[in-house]
Amino acid sequence: MSTFAGKRVLVTGGSRGIGRVTALAFARAGAAVGFNYSRSEDDSEAGETLAALRATGAPTFSSCADVGDPTAVTQLFAEARATLGGAVDVLVNNAAVTQDAPVMMMKDESWDRVLAVDLRGVFLCCRTVLRGMIAARWGRIVNVVSPAAFVGQEGAANYAAAKAGVLGLTKSLAREVARFGITVNAVSPGLIDTRLVGEMQSERRSEIERQIPLGRLGTPDEIAAAILFVASPAASYITGSTVHVDGGLAMR
C-alpha cells in the first residue's frame, strides 16, 4: 500500500499507543514519518517506535519536544522539514496529557497544564504547519479528540474542555484554509485497549465494556485506520468533520 508515498507526516505524541500505531501505519503506507514525545522517561518507548519506523525503510525521526511550548514547536517542525525532506503534508495532533480531579478539587496547575498541551499544543502545531501547507496548496490536519468533548467526563473537566476546544479549533480552521486545499478533521477514539486500560481490574473493564454498544474496547489499529482515511485522497471532500471510532459510545 503506497497511498502516502511522497508525503511527509508528523504525529505528535508518538512514542506509544495510538500515536505509535498511527505513525507506523503511515510509514507502511509509504510516508516519511516523524513523531515527538514530551517526557524523557519515555525515551525507551520512543526508541522502540523509532526502530519500528526505521524497519519500514521510510525516512523518520523522533524528537523530545513539548507541544505546549512555542519554541519547542518551532524547532520540532524545523527538524521535521530537515529530516523528512520538506514541509509536513499531514499533521496528526495526537499528543495529550491528563491530570484528573473533580473540578472543586482541581489545582490551577492541573487545569493549565492540560489546556496547554491538549488545546494550546494543537493550536501551536497547526499555526506552524500552515505556511508550508498553504505554499503547497495541499494539507491534511487530523486532531485526535475524545468522547469527553461530546458528553463530558467526570473528574476530567480540564481534558473534556480542552478536547471540546479542539473541536471548535478544528471547525474554524477548516473554514479558514479550505480554499487552499487543506482539510482539518477530528477523530474521536472511544475506550481503546492501550497500556492504561490493560492495567485496569477485569471487573471494571467488564463494566466499561457493557456501556459500549459494540460490547468491547477498540484497538489502536482501528483508530489509526480512521486517521489514515481522513488523511487519504478518499476523504478529499471531508473537512470540519469528526469521525467517531468509539464502538457507539458517544452516539446521540
Partner 1 sequence: MNRDRVRTEVKELLVTGLRLQLPLAEIQDDAPIFGEGLGLDSIDALELVVLVEEQFRVSIPDEDVGRKALASVNALVDFILAERAA
- Site residues for partner 1 per CB under 8 A: 130-131, 134-135, 176-177, 179-180
Q: How far apart are CA 45 and CA 116, in angstroms?
A: 23
Element (H, E) at 184: strand 182-189
Q: In what order do the strands lie in the sheet with 139-144?
A: 60-64, 32-37, 8-11, 90-93, 139-144, 182-189, 242-245
As to burial, measured by CB atoms within 10 angstroms (0-12 exposed, 13-18 middle, 19+ buried), residue 138 is middle
Nearer to partner 1, 70 or 155 (CB): 70
- Nearer of residues 39 and 131 to partner 1, judged by Cβ: 131
Closer residue to partner 1, CB minimum distance, 13 or 132: 132
Active site residue 237: no
Q: Pick between residue 89 and residue 246 the one whose CB is nearest to partner 1.
A: 89
DSSP per-residue letters across 9-75: EEESS-SSHHHHHHHHHHHHTT-EEEEEES-GGGHHHHHHHHHHHHHTT--EEEEE--TT-HHHHHH
Minimum distance of partner 1 from residue 237's CB (angstroms):
20
Q: How many Å apart are CA 47 and CA 242, to the nearest integer? A: 31
Question: How far apart are CB 179 and partner 1 at their closest, in Å?
Answer: 7
DSSP state string for 99-158: ----GGG--HHHHHHHHIIIIIHHHHHHHHHHHHHHHHT-EEEEEE--THHHH--TT-HH
- Quick one: 39 or 137, whose CB is closer to partner 1? 137
In angstroms, give the least distance from the CB of 136 to partner 1.
10
- Amino acid occupying residue 82: A
Of the residues 159, 162, 223, 242, which is catalytic? 159
Q: How far is the CB of 155 from partner 1 (least distance, A)?
A: 37
Strand pairing report for 90-93 and 139-144: parallel
Q: How far is the CB of 205 from partner 1 (least distance, A)?
A: 47
Catalytic positions, please? Answer: 159
